[in-house]
């Protein structure tokens, strides 16, 4: 969502004010412009801080997701290799599915058939 800056400067006292001369009006205008500049700077700083905080939170989430992915890859690559045969082909059970472990998947021939037919990444052809 893009940052939207909204700066409100109370200038109601200027709209109905009568000035003695041009110098007094110019001084009031200069003060108003200075106030607006400060208000704009503060609004920009607040918007930048908000975005910095959002970037930090997203970076943290990305780092956490990367750690989870690394852990998943390590778990897949570690442990025993489990192989099953189906229609004269050998397949490796890479990970469990539907709450079943790799061993339980290998024992369930009906599930093995379904996974192979679907092209699931849980079972990969070896040869």
pLDDT tens-place string over residues 49-107: 999 999 999 999 999 999 888 877 776 666 678 888 888 889 988 888 888 888 888 89
Return the domain boundaries, the chain.
Answer: 19-76, 80-125
Please compute the mean of the pLDDT values over residues 16-22 and round it to a whole number: 78
Q: Are 93 and 122 in contact (CB under 8 A)?
A: yes
Task: State the pLDDT at residue 24.
Answer: 83
pLDDT tens-place string over residues 44-65: 999 999 999 999 999 999 999 9
């Amino acid at each position: 969502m893009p940052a939207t800056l909204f700066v409100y400067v109370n200038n109601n006292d200027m709209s109905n004010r009568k000035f003695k001369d041009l110098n007094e009006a110019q001084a009031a205008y200069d003060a108003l412009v200075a106030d607006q500049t400060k208000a704009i700077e503060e609004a920009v700083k607040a918007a930048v801080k908000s975005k910095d905080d959002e970037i930090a939170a997203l970076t943290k989430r990305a780092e956490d997701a990367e750690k989870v992915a690394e852990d998943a890859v390590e778990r897949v690559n570690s442990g025993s290799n489990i192989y099953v045969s189906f229609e004269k082909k050998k397949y490796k059970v890479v990970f469990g599915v539907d709450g079943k472990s790799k061993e339980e998947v290998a024992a369930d021939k009906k599930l093995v058939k379904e996974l192979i037919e679907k092209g699931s990444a849980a079972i990969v052809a070896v040869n």
